[in-house]
Amino acid sequence: MKPKPFKIETYNGDSRYVKETSTGHIWHRCQHRTLYADTDRSSVVYHSNYLRYFEQGRATLMRDNLYPYYDIEKSGYVYPIIDIGIKYYRPLHYDDLMWIHTRPDKIERVKLQFKYIITHVESKDIVCIGYTQHCASNTSGIPVAIDPKTVELWKNFPINIK
Amino acid sequence: MKPKPFKIETYNGDSRYVKETSTGHIWHRCQHRTLYADTDRSSVVYHSNYLRYFEQGRATLMRDNLYPYYDIEKSGYVYPIIDIGIKYYRPLHYDDLMWIHTRPDKIERVKLQFKYIITHVESKDIVCIGYTQHCASNTSGIPVAIDPKTVELWKNFPINIK
Amino acid sequence: MKPKPFKIETYNGDSRYVKETSTGHIWHRCQHRTLYADTDRSSVVYHSNYLRYFEQGRATLMRDNLYPYYDIEKSGYVYPIIDIGIKYYRPLHYDDLMWIHTRPDKIERVKLQFKYIITHVESKDIVCIGYTQHCASNTSGIPVAIDPKTVELWKNFPINIK
Amino acid sequence: MKPKPFKIETYNGDSRYVKETSTGHIWHRCQHRTLYADTDRSSVVYHSNYLRYFEQGRATLMRDNLYPYYDIEKSGYVYPIIDIGIKYYRPLHYDDLMWIHTRPDKIERVKLQFKYIITHVESKDIVCIGYTQHCASNTSGIPVAIDPKTVELWKNFPINIK
């Protein structure tokens, strides 16, 4: 039931990215600390708040690659979420520091998937692994092909990361 | 520091309204139960969630008076919040049932205030007392006079409650 | 990509339960209305808030079956979530009324799964379908066999529903 | 209705603190960026989320002064919130960067107050001004005198800031 340890090495000397040793996958990462507001009466982070951390990871990955989600929306696209999944391995407590690792996972014509691994900074334990799948739509909500800039950016990830 | 007990009597045989004995004020009320999601690691409801309960009280009062907030927005107005205050007297725990009491408090030309008293159903204790002040705006965000239907509705409250 | 319509019929004249025509499954259900607080700038409910609605469905199912989750915790068990998944089919907007349908799905020795279908009351559209998987633990966080009362309750669902 | 501009200067060459020109007050500050999750259908941050930002400001101030709130709780005290107030001057939108300014305001025997000013990084506009008042309690919830280390820390603020 326990996932294999998430073994990583530095990548290109850029602290915002790491290379997963076993797969060679490159992950973007950013740090975040839990708030009292995130916890529930069992003293751990309430399960839905990890989706908020995923958003933060995804938004930071996009901004660090010079194409923030806000700009995608300004260009006439929206990427609503159509599918999510999370497996939880150990809880985060109040004031815990986490790494949020994010990578683009699958790109289809109208669909785009990101994968996430959250780890506990101190113990390096995997906290949870999840994904969000998005469907490209125009502002009327009609599914459309993913915008070319996004395709270009994530299809070649991590070749052209900034 | 403790507030005076919130003594109420029935009003017009309508279970959605009560009359405060000491002031004669009429309050709308609705019941709500806390979720695990609302609590924090100290086992009580996190303080910001009471603003969510206030929204529920306000929305229910407006709907019960046949002028739901959605309809106000459809008519070209928005009522963003410009001032809030809450005094907390005792906490709510997981699975606690509360009464959310709401009443329109002050109406000025462009401003509207609602007052709230949340009580613990079982003990009748006052949990918190608060207010939200709203500023009428058009959809461009420019402050404007409150719409006539809203003025009419709350100025005469509770004369014409439905 | 669209799910098959969720066709249901009444069950035992109890408005809290419905029978799914195609599978014969019995679902508990309760109504809930979205708040402004639930929406995001795309005008629809933010995706993580459906987990909150699922909690409400699950808690109401448990209370309606005379074994509220609070009592489970008092008896020395906790049921933290270890796996979730949601597929989204159409959004909910502000002030929309939904049905939250919940049923116990799978019971293993230490794991328990609930399934959820949220529908839009007015259109009867399926909004999303999801599950939460829980792992029975004692208060020290050690996985243990599910408590006998819970096993009894859900294994025979809906035979002994109250 | 508009507040006076929040004019500040650097303080001791420490980027975590600023001096308010008009009052001489020293404020701790940290940056934070809004998420999609924080916004509502009117496209701006939902009013209750500013209490979350306040928590982040307060927690960061306490950690930067080497007495994180977690340590206060470990030492047998809790500081539940008994009173809050916020005045809102302009909204924050999605992806906006803010400064959260925090300072200890009033210290009484059992009560402690923090004050907050959130500004929009780009325009320097004041977004909101608020306070939270906390009541020192032991773990049984009985009000007690504020712990000596906290008194020492905030009474002399900013003399001994770290």
Res A77 pLDDT > 70: yes
Chain C residues whose beta carbon lies within 8 Å of the beta carbon of residue A42:
78, 80
Chain B residues whose beta carbon lies within 8 Å of the beta carbon of residue C95:
59, 68-70
Chain A residues whose beta carbon lies within 8 Å of the beta carbon of residue D52:
35, 37
Res D160 pLDDT > 90: no
Task: Note whether A41 contacts B46, CB cutoff 8 Å.
Answer: no
Q: What is the pLDDT of residues A13-62, one digit of tens each?
A: 999 999 999 999 999 999 999 999 999 999 999 999 999 999 999 999 99
Domain enclosing residue D128, as ranges: 8-155
Q: What is the pLDDT of residues C3-14, one digit of tens each?
A: 999 999 999 999
Q: Which two tokens stand for residue D103?
A: 């300072």
Counting the structural domains of chain D, the total is: 1
Question: Does a structural domain hold residue C161?
Answer: no
Task: With 0.95 as the threshold, say if the pTM is over it.
Answer: yes
Question: Does a structural domain hold residue A65?
Answer: yes
Q: Could you tell me which of B76, B154, B63 has the C-alpha nearest to residue B114?
A: B154
Give the number of residues written for chain C: 162
Nearest CB to C82: which of A51, A85, A87? Answer: A87
Task: Report, as residue numbers or ranges, the catalytic residues of C.
Answer: 40
pLDDT on residue B37: 98
Res D161 pLDDT > 80: no
Question: Does a structural domain hold residue C71?
Answer: yes
pLDDT on residue B1: 67
CA within 13 Å, CB half, C92: 31
Which chain C residue has the Cα nearest residue A137? Answer: C42
Task: Note whether D36 contacts A59, CB cutoff 8 Å.
Answer: yes
Question: Does a structural domain hold residue B51?
Answer: yes
pLDDT tier at D93, thresholds 50, 70, 90: very high
Tokens 């901004």 belong to residue: A63
Among A19-28, A65-74, A153-162, B84-93, name the one with the lowest average pLDDT. Answer: A153-162
Output the CA torsion sign for C115, A120, A82, A35: positive
Question: Does a structural domain hold residue A113?
Answer: yes
What pairs with residue A99 in β-bridges? Answer: A31, A119
pLDDT on residue A130: 98
pLDDT on residue C2: 84
| Percent of chain C surpassing pLDDT 70 | 98
Mean pLDDT value of segment A107-115: 96
Question: Does a structural domain hold residue C162?
Answer: no
* CATH code for position A137: 3.10.129.10
Q: Which two tokens stand for residue A126?
A: 């995997």
Interface test with D, best of B43, B55, B79, B88 (most D CBs within 10 A): B88
Question: Does a structural domain hold residue A53?
Answer: yes
List chain B residues with pLDDT less than 70. 1, 162
Q: Which two tokens stand for residue B110?
A: 């462009």
pLDDT on residue C1: 66
Question: Does a structural domain hold residue B1?
Answer: no
Q: What is the pLDDT of residues D19-37, one digit of tens each?
A: 999 999 999 999 999 999 9
Task: Note whether B69 contacts C95, CB cutoff 8 Å.
Answer: yes
Task: Note whether A37 contacts B48, CB cutoff 8 Å.
Answer: yes
pLDDT on residue C72: 94
Report d(CA D118, CA D128) in Å as an integer: 5
Task: Note whether C51 contacts A48, CB cutoff 8 Å.
Answer: yes
Please enumerate in sequence order all residues whose Cβ is within 8 A of that of D15, keeping only pairs 6 or more positions apart, or say none. Answer: none
Q: What is the pLDDT of residues D47-65, one digit of tens each?
A: 999 999 999 999 999 999 9
> Can you give the three-state secondary structure of D23-88, one letter per residue?
CCCEEEEEEEECCHHHECCCCEECCCHHHHHHHHHHHHHHHHCCCCHHHHHHCCEECCEEEEEEEE
To the nearest whole angstrom, how far is the Cα of D10 from the nearest Cα of chain B?
30
Q: ipTM higher than 0.90?
A: yes
Mean pLDDT value of segment C53-81: 95
Report d(CA C113, CA C13) in Å as an integer: 26
Which is more confidently placed, D54 or D12?
Answer: D54
Q: How far from chain centre, in Å, is Cα D71?
A: 18
Cβ atoms B50, B117 nearer than 8 A: no
Nearest CB to B35: which of C59, C68, C94? Answer: C59
What pairs with residue A153 in β-bridges? Answer: none
Q: Is C119 helix (H, G, I), strand (E, B) or coil?
A: strand
Nearest CB to B82: which of D80, D83, D87? Answer: D87
pLDDT on residue C125: 97
